[in-house]
Amino acid sequence: MARRVFVSFRYSDGHWYKERLERLFDSSTEIINCSEDVNRSGQSDFTIQNYLYSKLRSTSVTIVLLTPNALSHRKDYFGGYDDWMYDEIRYSLEDRENNRCNGLIAVYTPEAANMVVKPSSDLTTILDFDNLVRANMLNIKPSYKKNPKPGIYDSNYDSYCSCISWANFINNYAYYIDIAAQKREVAYKYDLVKRLQTVNPYSSLFR
């Protein structure tokens, strides 16, 4: 059965990558792409929520393109998250009417690689960055951890959100999408983070 996916990306530096994925998916009988390019940033939160729910309703996996401009979520004056991609990711992680939360994949582009991971001879360290996908990496509950070594995580199954390089993903995208769909079926094994905590940088001014 074909997997239906939604692609979240930052238009300013991710549009080329999104179009490349669309061409790959259009040539595949295994993947159905349900995303689009419409700019709805001027719409109300309620309208955006309903729109995203309608787009995500029929999908099972959300693919997030991590480009340099997409790594850190945008915030408003008061420190709250005001970012279209943040909304797409958090709605993907919500249990929706007639459809539970999506599987999640973060695909980092070559330009963002040194901001996302630090490879060594035998291990890859995932760096910290202010993004909801990062909060859902390395979050397997201890009793379900696949790699038995303390502090070492299986790259495919010990994070709800897989973190995959662009080159690896486009060479075997159906494989990674299938793994994300499998983890969706056992989401209870993970400590899912569905919203990031915000801190108002100006709160001390009102004390």
Of residues 47 and 174, the one with the higher pLDDT is 174
What is the per-residue pLDDT across 131-140, written as a single tens digit (0 to 9) for each? 999 999 999 9
Mean local confidence (pLDDT), 146-171: 96
What is the per-residue pLDDT across 66-92, written as a single tens digit (0 to 9) for each? 999 999 999 988 888 888 899 999 999
Structural domain containing residue 103: 3-206
Give me the number of domains the chain comprises. Answer: 1
Using only C-alpha atoms, the chain has a radius of gyration, in whole angstroms, of 17
Is the pLDDT reported for residue 40 higher than 70?
no
- Cα first-last separation, the chain: 57
Q: What one-character DSSP code corresponds to residue 19?
A: H
CB atoms within 10 A of CB 69: 16
**Single pTM value for the model:** 0.90
CA distance 75 to 59: 27
* DSSP symbols for 153-199: --TTTS-SEEEEEHHHHHHSHHHHHHHHHHHHHTGGGB----S----
CATH, residue 55: 3.40.50
Q: Choose among 191, 193, 160, 189: nearest CA to 73.
A: 193
